[in-house]
Structure 1
């Protein structure tokens, strides 16, 4: 049956693999020519043959775009191109403003204007955005003229310009930005999930606060990436407001990142981080006031935000180095790896913004935060395992103390058998060690047998003192009461489940190999293995100590009793091993 189950599992896995292959083909290849027509999403790029008219009147022809041009801030630069013959009704021209004011003319007719004075909110410059211009049949072959100016920036960036039917003009932009948007949404979802996790573990896990601050940082970064995305006009109804939102987020993200680091590093550098957060807060408040009053735009103070972010990165790097020198970093090793990666990717994000601009804004920061999340998750799991292991060791230590106390209490109750439970535990441990390889006993198993040996007579607490301490042999009625100690002990331990075999050992250590024991009359290997070991250890101690009705037996007599009762009272194999231990001086 198991072989057939294995075959079924393999068959279903193969079917799943085939289904994945079909899925891949369906996504990337059209196999059947009879599929329904979905139209075209193509757009046409106007990237060559442009004429540039500089502010001083100088003309440069046959120029390719995109490109950046240095001009005096506020001056007007114009670019011209002849629209292709395939331009017609239903088409749109698409171009992107990187904070430049723009006016679009076709055949000297103004078709679109994007100016700062059109905004209700007082601001120094326009928000970067896509400008769409409706085209018509009559525009084919006409001169397209775009006038650009940047009131506060000496650089005018001429981006790609394309045309297509309807909103197909958006598809090239979507294709360039969809990965960034996906990562941003993923980060927001992961951050929200992490906050939900925090709400469940905050009272149970010491590292919960670091999860909370990390989640906030990831959400802030994700929201910033969305609000700074080139697709924000598609995402937000008020892109200019999302622009303000994005600048506020970028200014506080360093503060939340430092809160996370402070928590991970157990507030060892709290003064440094607190000072840093205070300065960032003052700057944020000042920038909000200056922006609302129209003195400066957020963009104009962006370099300050990046400066504080860079300083935060340097501070975090410094604290990591300090913790590496002192050895504190070992406590959060995996998280430290994630923090180092975040430091690297954050610096690359700033370098990319100011110098190379080869990937979308926020992409590198997002990758760094997701890497940090991965390593933080590993660290939390490791910390939980360590915490659980420590609790287990503490519990074992507490149990050891408890067992010793209970064993002493039991032995004190029976004045004729002082130290009996301790000795039974010791003999049982020796026998367990002797057969450990044969039965596959681990160190924990051997310790468990020792504990059970100390607890085996726990139920005698419920036996009347007059029976327990009677001078002479017990009557049948008294012996029936004495036999109840196995069941009493078993019931007392019903809530103790962290020591395997404890209850079975306590209940069955008076069972006999031939089935004549109590309380259940178990026979042979139906008797739990721990109980068979305890039976020998218990009987050996009984024979080698003085009792009220006899003196302890000699070594030769003990060996004779063990030989005589193996296969009757004792497991014959375990009895042979124990006899060998006695003869070898181990016991």
Structure 2
């Protein structure tokens, strides 16, 4: 019986070692292996290469570089225009709003717009997110107009990168660029929740306080802030405005777990 039990323990340890080795191999390949996602990427860039002009309120035009920041008063609309090439055949234009209301026009037709003035619970600006404008080959040679409006001086006049191509390809580019930080945020969120639950469980079992609970709360609040600042937060939740506001609430509340921990240490002295 002892021999069988010893063999069983040996096989169990071997299984643990095998699973850890497999996990290590997988993580190593993801970090240092070839990026196979690039093999199916289109050869052309999805960054729009055409020229944009800033149509000012006095009637003048100025050719601008994108991305860039320009002097625009809060509450005033910055109008950008570009002429689509004669061989244009893409299906989507996209730009990231930085606390801006955005409208896309192709010719005289309003194709896409974004504003949360009728849906947000507080604040005067729309939460930052990506706005997609559908287009077709029939739009070749037409004028594309983008209107940007914000009521905050820190973001007024900001023009982010403009993307042009297939919507799925644009999302893939955004995901490849900003996805890793979101994965890290989810990992910290999971770890924080686990720490809190273990801390509460151990406290109830041993009738004493475990500091890991306070650490878990700090991780939880930090991860929510990271998710609120994520560039792809609009695909994480239906209401991105609430998540954007929540990250600032977490920043204000984050000192509390540290104060509770300090108070607990002082009570033990």
What TM-score bracket applies, with the shorter chain setting the length?
A: 0.7 to 0.9
Change (3 A) 1:146 1:250: same
* Counterpart for residue 195 of structure 1: 196
Aligned 8 A contact 1:100 1:125 in 2: yes
Alpha-carbon shift at residue 86 of structure 1 (Å)? 5.1
* 1:97 and 2:85 aligned: no
Aligned-pair distance for 1:117?
3.5
Partner of 1:137: 137
What pairs up with 1:327-342 in 2 under 5 angstroms? none
Q: For this pair of structures, how many residues does the alignment match?
A: 245
2:48: which partner in 1?
46
Distance 1:41 1:254, change over 3 A: farther
Quick one: distance in 2 between partners of 1:70 and 1:259? Answer: 45
- Higher helix residue share: 1
Alignment-derived partner of residue 83 in structure 2: 82
Distance 1:199 1:47, change over 3 A: same
Displacement, 1:255? 2.3
User: C-alpha offsets along residues 53-79 of structure 1, whole Å, 9 cap, x if unaligned?
Assistant: 234444211x22111122211111111
Report the CA distance between 1:197 and its aligned residue.
Answer: 2.5
Q: Distance in 1 between matches of 2:263 and 2:137?
A: 63
> Aligned-residue CA RMSD in angstroms?
3.4
1:255 to 1:41, Cα distance in 2 relative to 1, 3 A: farther
Preserved contact between residue 95 and residue 131 of structure 1 (Cα < 8 Å):
yes
For residues 94 and 84 of structure 1, do their structure 2 counterparts lie closer, same or farther at Cα, with a shift above 3 Å needed?
same
Q: Which residue of 2 aligns with 1:256?
A: 257
Matches within 5 A, 1:416-455: none
Residue matched to 2:106: 106
Q: Deviations over 1:340-378 (max 9, x none)?
A: xxxxxxxxxxxxxxxxxxxxxxxxxxxxxxxxxxxxxxx
CA distance in 1, matches of 2:87, 2:220: 45
- Cα distance in 1 for residues equivalent to 2:44 and 2:118: 32
For residues 176 and 144 of structure 1, the distance between their equivalents in structure 2, rounded to whole angstroms, comes to: 26
| 3-state secondary structure, aligned to 1:124 | coil
Q: Distance in 2 between matches of 1:96 and 1:129?
A: 6
2:225 is matched with 224
Mapped partners of 2:35, 2:184: distance in 1: 26
Partners in 2 of 1:76 and 1:39 — Cα distance?
A: 36
Partner of 1:149: 149
- The Cα of 1:85 is off from its aligned counterpart by 4.6
The CA distance in 1 between the partners of 2:57 and 2:115, in whole Å, is 18
For the Cα contact (< 8 Å) 1:194–1:211, is it kept in 2? yes
CA-CA distance at 1:205 after TM superposition: 8.8
Report what 2:172 is aligned to: 171
> For residues 166 and 76 of structure 1, do their structure 2 counterparts lie closer, same or farther at Cα, with a shift above 3 Å needed?
closer
C-alpha distance in structure 2 between counterparts of 1:129 and 1:223, whole Å = 17
Contact 1:41/1:171 (<8 A) preserved: no
Cα distance, 1:68–1:152 mapped onto 2, change above 3 Å? same
The answer to whether the 8 A contact 1:129-1:233 is kept is: yes
Work out whether residues 88 and 137 of structure 1, in 8 Å CA contact, stay in contact via their aligned partners in 2. yes
Higher relative CO (CA 8 A, sep ≥ 6), structure 1 or 2? 2
Shift of 1:133: 0.7
Change (3 A) 1:55 1:42: same
CA contact (8 A) 2:84 2:140 kept: yes
Q: By how many angstroms is 1:130 displaced?
A: 0.8
Query: In the superposition, relative to structure 1, how do residues 74 and 165 fare at CA in structure 2: closer, same or farther (>3 Å)?
Result: same
2:34 pairs with 1:28: yes
Aligned-partner Cα distance in 1 for 2:242–2:55: 33
How far does the alpha carbon of each residue in 1:188-238 deviate from its partner, in whole angstroms, 9 at most, with x for none?
111122123213432549661x21111011111112211221111110011
**Cα distance change, pair 186–261 in 1 and its aligned pair in 2 (3 A):** farther
Cα offset for 1:120? 5.9
Q: Which has the larger radius of gyration?
A: 1
| Alpha carbons 1:47, 1:64 under 8 Å: kept | no
8 Å CA contact 2:197, 2:213 repeated in 1? no
- 2:185 is aligned with 1:184: yes
| Aligned equivalents of 1:116, 1:57: Cα separation in 2 | 29
The answer to whether structure 1 residue 59 and structure 2 residue 61 are counterparts is yes
Pair 133,199 (structure 1): closer, same or farther in 2 beyond 3 Å: same
Alignment of structure 1 residues 273-292 onto 2, 5 Å: none
Preserved contact between residue 117 and residue 124 of structure 2 (Cα < 8 Å): no
What SS does the corresponding residue of 1:44 show, helix, strand or coil? coil
**Aligned 1:4-19 pairs, distance under 5 A:** none
Distance (whole Å) between structure 2 residues aligned to residue 42 and residue 48 of structure 1: 13
Name the SS for the 1:111 alignment partner.
Answer: strand
Secondary structure, aligned partner of 2:212: helix
Unmatched runs of 5 consecutive residues or more in structure 2: 1-13
User: Helix, strand or coil: the match of 2:190?
Assistant: helix
Shift of 1:160: 0.6
Structure 1 residue runs without a partner (length 5+): 1-8, 31-36, 269-327, 329-587
Q: Secondary structure at the match of 1:95?
A: strand
